């Protein structure tokens, strides 16, 4: 989730509303450094609840209904979130 914590908390607590996400994929054969973030650090993979290396795709940022969320599987380490923030800034020209 990349939307602000207040919005995330309100939407998930109420069980309705929307959150903004950056999707992940396990297809890491090509990583576009400017707007994608490779997550291949074993500690980060475990912390995030992933089963293999993945990449965050900031170019596919989207807003989804919280009803579409299955469950929280892990947490994004701060250093990975900073890289995702940078990728979003690049993609959105912020």
> Burial, 57: exposed, middle or buried (Cβ in 10 Å; 0-12, 13-18, 19+)?
buried
* Structural domains in the chain, sorted by start: 5-92 (2.30.30.110)
CA 58 and chain centroid, separation: 8
**pLDDT value for 73:** 84
pLDDT digit string (tens) for 11-67? Answer: 988 989 999 999 999 999 999 889 999 999 999 999 999 999 999 999 999 999 999
**pLDDT value for 15:** 86
pLDDT surpassing 90 at residue 77: yes
């Amino acid at each position: 989730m990349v939307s602000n914590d207040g919005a995330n908390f309100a939407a998930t607590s109420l069980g309705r509303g929307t959150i903004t996400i950056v999707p992940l994929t396990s297809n890491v054969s090509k990583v576009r450094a400017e707007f994608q973030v490779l997550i291949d650090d074993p500690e980060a993979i475990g912390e995030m609840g992933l089963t293999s290396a993945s990449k965050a795709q900031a170019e596919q940022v989207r807003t989804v209904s919280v009803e579409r969320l299955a469950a929280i599987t892990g947490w994004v380490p701060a250093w990975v979130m900073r890289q995702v923030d940078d990728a979003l800034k690049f993609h959105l020209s912020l």
